Amino acid sequence: MFNFIDIKVYSDDKLIDSEVLEERSQKIFKEIRCLVCQNQSIEDSSAGLAKQIKSIVKGLIQEGYSDSDVRNYLVDRYGNWILLKPPFNLSTAALWLLPFTILFLAILTGLFYILKKNKIQKNKPVLPLEQDEQQKLNKILDDF
C-alpha cells in the first residue's frame, strides 16, 4: 500500500508550514508509541527512533496523507505495537482480555476458598462446655 522509500524526511524541530498540519502532526505524535521507551508517546520521547518517526509523520502529512493513512502506514511498517491504544482484534485479544481473565480467576479462587472454609467450620462438632467452664461463663454473663 505504501512505498516506504519515497517519504520526505523533515527535521522534528522544524514546524510544518501550515498551523493546521502542525496540529495534526502533534495529535498523531501523542497516539504513537516510542519503540525505544515503550510506554511513552513519541511526543514525550527524545530517543533517536522517536525523532525519525516524527519526521516520517510530518513527511506523510506534508504529502497530503490523512491521519488514518499515517497511522496505517506506521502500523504496516511496525505493527499494532506502535499504537498506544491498539485496536481489539484477533492478534491483540490476549492483550485486552488477559487482565480481566486474571481478575475473574482471582475472584473465583477467593470465593471457593471462603465457601470451603465455611463448609469446614459448619462440619466441626460443637463440644459442650465442662461444668466448671459453664459456671465461669454464667458468672461472666451475670456480671455483665
User: What confidence category does residue 124 fall into, taking pLDDT thresholds of 50, 70 and 90?
Assistant: confident
By percentage, how much of the chain surpasses pLDDT 90? 34
3-state secondary structure string across the chain: CCCCCCCCCCCCCCCCCCHHHHHHHHHHHHHEECCCCCCCECCCCCCHHHHHHHHHHHHHHHCCCCHHHHHHHHHHHHCHHHECCCCCCHHHHHHHHHHHHHHHHHHHHHHHHHHHHHHHHHHCCCCCCCHHHHHHHHHHHHHC
User: What confidence category does residue 70 fall into, taking pLDDT thresholds of 50, 70 and 90?
Assistant: very high
- Judge if pTM exceeds 0.95: no
User: What confidence category does residue 16 fall into, taking pLDDT thresholds of 50, 70 and 90?
Assistant: low
By percentage, how much of the chain surpasses pLDDT 70? 88
The residue ranges of every structural domain in the chain are 19-87, 91-143
pLDDT of 79-99, one tens digit each? 888 888 888 888 778 878 899
Q: Which residue has the higher pLDDT, 100 or 21?
A: 100
Whose cell is 497511522? That residue is 71
What pLDDT score does 5 carry? 47
Query: How much is the mean pLDDT over the chain?
Result: 84
pLDDT of 100-113, one tens digit each? 999 999 999 999 99
Q: What class does CATH assign to 19-87? A: mainly alpha
CB of 5 closer than 8 Å to CB of 76: no
Lowest mean pLDDT among 17-21, 22-26, 50-54, 55-59: 17-21
